Amino acid sequence: HMANIDPDEGVVLNDGLSTQVGAHGPYIQSQRLEIYKKHAQKLIENGNAYYAFDTKEELDAMRAEMLAAGNPAPKYDASVRRRMRNSLTLTKEETEKLLKEGHEYVIRMIVPETEIIEFTDDIRGTVQFQGHTVDDQVLMKSDGFPTYHLAHVVDDHLMEIDLVLRGEEWLSSLPKHLLLFQYFGWQPPRYAHVSLLLNKDKSKLSKRQNDVAAEDYIAKGYLPEVLLNFLALLGWNPGTTQEIFSLSELIDAFSLERVQKAGAIFDIEKLDWLQGQWMRKFSTEEFAARIRPVVSEVYAAALNDANFEAKAKLIHDRITFFKEAPEMMSFFYTEPAVSKELMANKKQKVTEADLPKILSLLSETLTAISDADWTEDNLHKILFATAEEKGLSKGQILWPLRALLTGLPFSPGAFEVAAALGKKKTLERLERAQKEV
């Protein structure tokens, strides 16, 4: 929803309220419990599943025994099944008695030990699984709710899903799902298991090292369009040099053939670059409209500022997040703090001792420009000519002017700011700066 992608069917938000849309509902799992129970019973009747009455203590003992025997991943498989308390080891009468007495149970699927399960995955190609490596998965829990394994197979069939895209961590569960489709006599959908996202050190992306939810990045100020663009390029490439994609462009360009099998590096620097690129895609008008409420929260004067769009344009190429706008535009709505330290700059060859002479020259030059000639182009031309005439570099004259007008170490250039502030405000700030030096 945050990325402006609304599902065609399922649970959707409509005016902030959750509603169900589509012909295959209900779409809320808790409203489908009878459907799952009916299908689980069918598996039991057909001999593809069974009741298991093992207690937590019995299961813990089984796992401890397997670990002690050197099995690092204990599982309830065919070899274990034969000695546990389930309807395959109990008589029919014993099973019925336990059910009647209300003993807790789960329903497990039967995985044939000797079966080889093969499938062609849309990304990974042919995958093969040995039956003895797969456990008898729980399908219905003791609370009457299905596990993902049963629910997704039943739901995907009844909802006519023909392609399932999911993370590669589900690949090991694929044989269980394929067996269930087989037991029900249904055609499985196509599956495509996509690779995991990785940190720069190739470790799995996790909450410990990163924010991993889309909401976290939206809260930080990333645009939904940026997240969508960024995520699409993780593990997929268009086969061209294009990197900026809108949703409609992605729909046209995307194909599973170009999805890579290797894990994709989650590069936050690339995300920030994309954010900047998308910021530049806004028209000046739209950009100004998006940041005006943000700036107005800090500087009320911005709300009805007739020249707001022209001022916003000056930061458009520099901004990464809307929330940066109030500080970046602060000098338009509040008098900046002026310091000799900021006006001087070693790189620009401006020492504090040079400042009185440079500010005096700026005052003399700018005062002589008429209000009618006070434009960015004229300021550019006149100040550059003055610098040349007095044997100063452009930086020696522009850096102090920009610093005293904005009070910021980074900001739009001196010409743009002076033009946007106007002659009166520029000279006032220049006069105040002269008192500081």
Catalytic positions are: 207
Q: How far apart are CA 321 and CA 275, in angstroms?
A: 8
Q: What is the signed CA dihedral for 344, 345, 349, 353, rounded to 10 degrees?
A: 20
Instruction: Please tell me whether residue 46 adopts helix, strand or coil conformation.
Output: coil
What residue has token string 């099998």?
Answer: 261
Torsional class of 122: left (φ above 0), alpha (ψ -120 to 50), beta (otherwise): alpha
Question: CA-CA distance, 188 to 374, in Å (whole number)?
Answer: 73
Q: In terms of DSSP bridges, do strands 125-130 and 116-121 run parallel, antiparallel, or are they unpaired?
A: antiparallel
Please measure the distance between the N-terminal and C-terminal CA atoms of the chain and give it in whole angstroms: 55
The DSSP code for 267 is -
Q: Is 407 left (phi over 0), alpha (psi -120 to 50) or beta?
A: left
**CA-to-CA distance for 251 and 229, rounded, in angstroms?**
11
Tokens of 242: 């294009």
DSSP string, 297-357: HH-GGGGG-TTHHHHHHHHHTT-SSGGGHHHHTHHHHSPPP--HHHH-BTTTTB-GGGHHH
Element (H, E) at 3: none
